[in-house]
Amino acid sequence: MTRHIYRFLDRTLAVMEVVFGAGTLFGLCIGVIAGPEQTRPLEWILGIPVMLLTIVAGVLLWRGKRAGFALSLGLQLFQILPVIIAHTAVRYVAGFHWTLRFGAPRIWKPWGLEGTFIVLHDPAFPQTTFGLNVVALAIAIYLVKRLHDISQNSTVMPAQQLS
């Protein structure tokens, strides 16, 4: 029964990564093609590879590959803390989020389903603030547990026994 629950959760996360990664990738590419004068180069130079990596992580996670769990964990860690430093916002979301803000006016949606990659400097932003994406934190904890379980269940023979 537990195996079925894990499989359902893994595949749900994989679908979110593929769908929101592909949607955001499409949006970034269309923005570059349609209006390059209004795009922020740093945003698409960093955002396009991150979204491609999000799609790859989702596909590998769907297949149950350990690399998919590891990539997904790294991407979730990147989503946990949206920050504003020196009036520059950096935020990445691929899927469901619930973001708590600390010490600043609301800059982004506090919760929802979305695919976002933002690197934006605006003097109207606060000097420094950060948030906490509670959903990404919970998913990261889940992925750490899954990676730990996978490493405990894998039986690797020492090199001496292979000879």
Q: What is the DSSP string of 77-129?
A: HHHH--EEETTEEEEEEEEEEEEEEESS---S-SEEEEEEEEEEE-TTS-SEE
pLDDT of residue 155: 56
135/122 Cα distance (integer angstroms): 27
| 133 three-state secondary structure | strand
pLDDT exceeds 80 at position 38: no
What is the pLDDT averaged over residues 36-50? 84
Q: Which two tokens stand for residue 103?
A: 């010490």
Q: Which two tokens stand for residue 102?
A: 């600390």
What is the pLDDT averaged over residues 129-140? 94
pLDDT of residue 46: 93
Per-domain boundaries in the chain: 2-154
How does residue 12 score in pLDDT terms, banded at 50, 70 and 90? very high
pLDDT of residue 32: 83
101/66 Cα distance (integer angstroms): 33
Mean pLDDT, rounded, of the chain: 88
Smallest Cα–Cα separation from 114: which of 136, 95, 133? 95
Predicted model pTM: 0.87
